[in-house]
Structure 1
Amino acid sequence: MHAQFGEVYSESWARDYVIAELGSRTVVQALADGEPAKKVWQAVCVTVDVDPKLR
């Protein structure tokens, strides 16, 4: 996430942005609930236009 959003913004985005693919949870909530990091990252990639090199 740091490579896509930058260090500071990625932390804010992960904490505040609700993603439908994660059951209307944020990245932080999904990870805290035990979702695998790979699944969470894939949801981020679907939600925003992540550089293909980072997928």
Structure 2
Amino acid sequence: MRHSEFERAVEDEFGRGGAALVDDLALAEIGHRTAREALAAGVPPREVWRALCVEADVPLERRHGAGRLEPRR
């Protein structure tokens, strides 16, 4: 997962409130840092996405492949 895919996944899943979650929600699985802090520290976006999903109770079926664009035809 790229950073841009992470941002799309957050927007798709959480809407406009996603930015607040990324900036404010402490994620236990990545050392009680916010998603923004973890990304800045070099934690891979996929790992941050998974931690955010766990903390926010995102259903499993909406976690995999999130943020990807539709393939070009």
TM-score range, shorter chain: 0.7 to 0.9
Q: Which has the higher helix share?
A: 1
Task: Indicate the structure whose relative CO is greater, using CA pairs within 8 Å and at least 6 residues apart.
Answer: 2
**Tell me, which stretches of 5 or more residues in structure 2 are unaligned?**
1-9, 64-73
**Looking at CA atoms only, which structure, 1 or 2, has the larger radius of gyration?**
2
Percentage of identical aligned residues: 39
Pairwise CA RMSD of aligned residues?
Answer: 1.2
Corresponding pairs, count? 54
Q: Runs of 4+ in structure 1 displaced over 4 angstroms?
A: none
- Please list every run of 5 or more consecutive structure 1 residues that lacks an aligned counterpart in the other structure: none
TM-score, normalising length from structure 1? 0.85
